Structure 1
Amino acid sequence: MKNRKPLCGIDEAGRGPLAGSLVMAGVILRKPVEGLMDSKKLTEKKREMLFPLVLENSDHHIVSFSAQEIDDMGISKCLQLGLQRIQAFLSEAEYLFDGNSTFGVDNITTMVKADEKIAEVSAASILAKVTRDREMVAMAEKYPVYGFEKHKGYGTKVHIEALMKYDRCEIHRRSFRVKGLDEPTLF
């Protein structure tokens, strides 16, 4: 019988925010980790508890794209490169990416809500989200007026109000339009 390749689950965090990085993670679990599920359904405390357990019990690779890289290449190209880098680092695996697009990358299977159904994708979801959330908390210290520690760069009312008052900082994605900030005013 032919040896099966291990499953590498892949997920991302930060596709839609107005600020911060896009973070992608690939995970091949060597041992089961109890309590894995979609990172969005876990409390921050539970994600932080699971993060080192996933690291200890897996082969993994985390890829990050800055706001500048997202602006320069576009989000789809970043996702494509991230998938390719994970494949290159965690070679000889079968790859399952959460969602419905491979972004043109060969040898990737997709599944909507895989982060809720497949342990390896849940683990990747946790690595990506915790990595990104930690980055945004650090950026909140550097740029306190935006409240990044609360909304993690997503387009909440508080974040939009801060953008209107202070404009963008260096970690904002300039290619992501903000209603009221990017429309020309008519006089």
Structure 2
Amino acid sequence: MTKATPHTLICGIDEVGRGPLAGPVVASAVILGSNHGIQGLTDSKKLSETRRNNLDREIRNKAECHGTGWVWQDEIDRLNIHNATLLAMNRALAGMLAGLMRSSGDAVCIQPFAIRVDGKFLPDFTTVEGYSPSLHGDCQAVIKGDGSIEEISAASIIAKVARDSWMIEYHRKEPQYGFDGHKGYPTAAHKAAIRTYGPSGIQRKSFRVS
């Protein structure tokens, strides 16, 4: 597992929610720092719900900074899921940078750090407020980075817990779809509910229900 050093901070970015038929895609950006002391960081999909929730609280308490970006179903339908995912990552980084600037009192983020993004594709961060190519230009996409880089693991956990929590809360509005269980993913139960009740209020209309 790759770790930050006192001289090389890493911002890890990951997303959750590419595959569901309903609801948002969510990304998080996290800088842990070199002495965070968090044990058991790994890909959020490999963790039990209880362990994931416990780590989410610990990451939020101990991370140097973090930000979360949301892209909603109407935006996904307009942009397509690939572009929506990249936008969510941009919004996550923007939120994290805004937090850094608030805490430091700077108009721009002057803290250098490398950026590591899970997957094959790297967003264009140059439009993100507070981003500086000279300070944050070491950007790389890392396949399966959520299992090899602690900051990406942390980002995957925060994004997963944030999205799952939102879907569970939304379930109270349309309980017939069972969002508290499948979280919008294309399970047999979810597809059956769509056939019975029609599209939910958070349906991704550009996604095929087969």
The ranges of structure 1 where at least 4 consecutive aligned residues each deviate by more than 6 angstroms after the TM superposition are none
1:143 equivalent in structure 2 = 174
2:163 and 2:93 map into 1 onto residues whose CA distance is 21
TM-score (norm 1): 0.88
- CA RMSD in angstroms comes to 1.7
2:188 and 2:92 map into 1 onto residues whose CA distance is 35
1:24 equivalent in structure 2 = 27
1:146 and 1:87 map into 2 onto residues whose CA distance is 32
Deviations 1:131-178 (A, max 9, x none): 000011111111111111111100011111111111111111111111
TM-score (norm 2): 0.79
2:93 and 2:28 map into 1 onto residues whose CA distance is 11
Which blocks of at least 5 consecutive residues in structure 2 are unaligned? Answer: 1-5, 98-108, 127-136
Q: CA deviation at 1:112?
A: 1.2
Q: Secondary structure at the match of 2:172?
A: helix
| Preserved CA contact (<8 Å) 1:76 1:103 | no
Which blocks of at least 5 consecutive residues in structure 1 are unaligned? Answer: 180-187
Alignment of 1:50 with 2:50, yes or no, is no
1:34 equivalent in structure 2 = 39
1:127 and 1:27 map into 2 onto residues whose CA distance is 9
User: 68-77 vs 7-16, which deviates more?
Assistant: 68-77
User: 103-112 vs 114-123, which deviates more?
Assistant: 103-112
Question: Given the alignment, which residue of 183, 193, 208 partners 1:162?
Answer: 193
| Preserved CA contact (<8 Å) 1:80 1:105 | no
